[in-house]
Amino acid sequence: MRLSGVRVLLAAVQIALSVRAQAWVWDSTLALPGCENLAVAHPYVFAFSYNRALARSDTGVQGVLYYWDGTQEVPFLKDITPPGRWHPFELAYRPPYLWFFHGAKEIPTEVWRFRWSGSSLEAPRRWAHTGFVSLQAIWPLDSVRFMVANDRSHRARWRLVAGFLVRRVRSNLLYCEGDTCIKVADGIPYASSLAYFPEEREWWVSVAFRKAIWVYQEVEGPQRLVFARRIRLPGHPDNIAVISPRQVWVVCHPSLLRWARSLAFGSYADRWMIVEITCEGGGNYATRVLYRSKAGYPTASVARPVGPYVYVGSYAAPYLLRLRAGDTQIAPVP
């Protein structure tokens, strides 16, 4: 396919050395607003930047997709945005495909998949389904099979953003194979992220309104799931990052009200933490807080380690945060 052009940028780096949490420090920021999720094809990082605050007053604003070598101290951002006017949400990579959501008026209702050649995106494919009301998360299994988390109504989703009647939001899980999608779980109090563990045949779902991850067990493959257990968390979870087959990171927010206000009005009162969950076997899990945020970077949604850095994306913040955290590397999808 023909790209709109590749623009090479030098990221605007602002050093902030005074903020520390445990052994981690603020390293720098990249001038990429609205990176709700990040995808990693080590050593590369993908980010779909979308200035949502500006888009509310300027209908010409669209998302821009970048990638860069996440291990470099001074990264060069390369624009690989496919032709079109994108209102992006979510981002996932399973070799060799990059997946994301798109939809009019910031309501994601379409699934898009592109093949990553190593320098450009090719062979687009689009999924649209009557059940795609307000897509929230995706986990690709291969080139045509995937699971999505989906809010059941537009109105319920916007009640979340405004911070009103938040517990009325409910999500379902849809398993899609080819052009067929079936509902496999329902009644989830806002599913914000997904992860799959094939050895255990378990699906993990971030449940933003319950300070927990709900675990579903496959019965006959992904076409049938049953609820298995809850994993309690110290905050309301957003995106899950799989670090190894037995370990995940999840960004959590201690206060749902502050998180919702930051999403809706740009408040900087929101705080967040990076929580590590380790599977100890026998249905037991250990959790620990790796990092607690300070003021100045609200609505964090995902944390992904690449080389010596941890990249932290945000739904609404005007930049992408980078922490220095030693020689941590993200593992391939299990």
pLDDT at 168: 61
pLDDT at 85: 86
Distance of CA 16 to the CA centre of its chain: 25
Cβ-based neighbour number of residue 13 at 10 Å: 14
> What radius of gyration do the chain's Cα atoms show?
18
* Environment class of 202 (CB within 10 Å of its CB; exposed 0-12, middle 13-18, buried 19+): middle
Tokens of 243: 């670090």
Q: Is the pLDDT of residue 12 over 80?
A: no
Extents of the domains making up the chain: 8-324
- Of the chain, the end-to-end C-alpha distance in Å amounts to 30
Length of the chain: 334
Q: What is the CATH number of domain 8-324?
A: 2.120.10.30
260-296 pLDDT tens trace: 888 877 777 789 999 999 988 777 899 999 999 877 7
| Angstrom distances, CA of residue 19 to CA of 15, 44, 180, 297 | 10, 26, 49, 12
Q: Is the pLDDT of residue 134 over 50?
A: yes
154-187 pLDDT tens trace: 544 444 444 444 446 789 999 999 999 999 999 9
State pTM to two decimals: 0.86
Q: Is the pLDDT of residue 136 over 60?
A: yes
Whole-angstrom Cα distance, residue 187 to residue 209? 12
pLDDT at 16: 27
